[in-house]
Amino acid sequence: MDEVPAALRVWIVEDEPAAAALASELSLACGAEPTVYRAPLPFLSALRSAARPDAVVLDWRLEHELSAALFLATRHRYPDLPVVYWTGSVGHSLPAMIRQDAHTSVVDKAAGTQASENALLGALEGASEG
């Protein structure tokens, strides 16, 4: 009997409800199971205790400016985990550690859903090959 491959998992950290719902829909469209974290602490807890996700979607403009800390925690735990920064901020305004990270892509929310879907598909493709 053939094994059924496990569904790819995307963790989304987004504090804006409409954006979180859209990111979830995009994950589902890409064939991945989304888990949404509306606050940093549940995400950090999952990062420590849950099975590794296949990709993470972060929003740069999280409340209390904690996005950089979440990125660093993610990189500390999983140095090669694909991260998609889905942000309303101008890409070049993000820190170099994010812009130059080989496993991170930055997507402007204003670029539309196709750009976000393409970035997520690229992240998941890398995850499924690894």
The whole-number pLDDT of residue 45 equals 96
Q: Which residues, in sequence order, are CB contacts of 104 under 8 Å at separation 6+?
A: 71, 82, 83, 84, 85, 98
> Model's pTM, two decimal places?
0.88
* Total domains in the fold of the chain: 1
CA distance 2 to 6: 12
Report the distance separating Cα 128 and Cα 112, nearest Å: 25
Whether residue 3 lies inside any domain: the answer is: no
State phi, psi for 5 to the nearest 5 degrees.
Answer: -65, 145
Q: What share of the chain is helix, strand, coil (3-state, %, to 5)?
A: 50, 20, 30
Share of the chain above pLDDT 90, in %: 57
Per-residue pLDDT tens over the stretch 51-107:
999 999 998 877 767 889 999 999 999 999 999 998 877 667 788 999 999 999 999
Q: Tell how strand 83-87 and strand 8-13 pair up.
A: unpaired
In a domain, 1, yes or no: no
- 36-45, pLDDT tens digit by residue? 999 999 999 9
CATH number at residue 77: 3.40.50.2300
Examine the pLDDT at 3 and tell me if it is beyond 80.
Answer: no
At 101, list the tokens.
Answer: 């990270």
Instruction: Flag whether pLDDT at 127 surpasses 70.
Output: no
* Alpha-carbon gap, residue 7 to 76, rounded angstroms: 24
Q: Given a cut of 90, is residue 4 above it in pLDDT? A: no
User: pLDDT: is 3 or 114 the higher one?
Assistant: 114
Helices (H), the chain: 17-29, 40-49, 67-77, 96-99, 113-129
Q: Whole-number mean pLDDT of the chain?
A: 87
CA distance 57 to 104: 10
pLDDT value of position 6: 67
Domain that holds residue 40: 8-129
pLDDT at 116 over 80: yes
Q: Is the residue at 2 inside a domain?
A: no
Please tell me the predicted confidence (pLDDT) of residue 48.
95
Task: Identify the pLDDT of residue 109.
Answer: 81
